Amino acid sequence: MTTAKAEPAGREAGNLVTVTSFAGGFRTSEGFKPVLHDVSFALAEGKMTAIVGETGSGKTIMALSMMGLAPSTFAKTGGSIEYAGDDISTYDDRAFRCIRGGEFAMVFQDARAALNPVLSVGKQLIDACRAHRRVSVAQAREIAEEMLGKVRVPEPAQRMKQFPHEFSGGMAQRVMLALALICQPKLLILDEPTTGLDVTIQADIMELIVDLVHSGHMTACLITHDLGVVAETCDDVVVMFHGYIKETGTVVEVLAHPKDNYTEQLLRASRFEEMPA
């Protein structure tokens, strides 16, 4: 298997986040297990970048590292994650809390599991809004209702009073999007945001995400294994395999003219129809 030289995706534009030679692994009872090896890529400002690869490729732990949410058993062994002139991979949890939510936000796979089951949706949205924006409770409530409307939740004022278990999977995912976007983050990370949803609902959610990212002039990072979704929604793509970067570039470059054998294997294994040359 050959490996194409990994150049940062989005190199033509300014980069919001730049990951350089990042490496790390897990402390286990059997010793240290490396899982990320010399990972380098960039998230171009105002663009949607996909990180793709099969299960175990390291894409989710890389995303969690950018958020400061990696498990306590994970340890960085080298490299950096640069944002706004700082290497945020050196931050402790207190420092990460200053950017998490307000500047970086993440949408997880299982929305209902990620939401607090004992608090109403409205309470969670209002609390998140007030944690990062200087607004009153009344203002936060108005912003929360408006945000539910933006993510196409019907009757937002009534939905504010409901609890996560009262929402379908698709509606819960819309609430998670509202929760992530309510503080107007600069970076939105989406970890397999349509997993477990019906195909038609998946398409609706991805269309909504693209609309919100573009209308809000945000930078987004989509973690996925679905190359069809990548082709339809993303600007740049990063291909990972067993903790290594195999290839980066624009979606057209990588999917229409893959340079790495592993990327070709992903394309052949996918139901995705190849990009036009």
Confidence class of residue 272 from pLDDT cuts 50, 70 and 90? low
At 185, list the tokens. 């983050």
pLDDT tens track for 72-84? 999 999 999 999 9
* Share of residues in the chain with pLDDT > 70 (%): 93
Position 4 pLDDT exceeds 50: no
Domains and CATH numbers, the chain: 1-103+186-277 (3.40.50.300), 110-184 (no CATH)
Give the separation between CA 270 and CA 197, rounded to whole angstroms.
Answer: 19
Contact at 8 Å (CB) between 153 and 174? yes
Q: Quick one: what percent of the chain has pLDDT higher than 90?
A: 71
Q: How far apart are CA 180 and CA 102, in angstroms?
A: 9
Whole-model pTM: value is 0.88
DSSP 8-class letter at 71: -
- pLDDT, tens digit (0-9, with 9 covering 90-100), for 145-155: 999 999 999 99
CA–CA distance from 199 to each of 171, 196, 253, 268 (Å)? 14, 9, 27, 21
Region label for 7, one of left (φ > 0), alpha (ψ between -120 and 50) or beta (otherwise) = beta
DSSP code of residue 274: P
What would the pLDDT profile of 119-136 be if each residue is shown by its tens digit?
A: 999 999 999 999 888 899
Instruction: Tabulate helix, strand, coil % of the chain (nearest 5).
Output: 40, 25, 35
User: Residues 188, 176: contact at Cβ < 8 Å?
Assistant: no
Question: What is the C-alpha to C-alpha distance for residues 79 and 87, in angstroms, rounded to an integer?
Answer: 9
- Model pLDDT for residues 94-117, shown as the tens digit of each residue: 999 999 988 999 998 888 888 999
**179-232 pLDDT tens trace:** 999 988 999 999 988 877 788 888 888 898 898 888 888 999 999 988 888 999
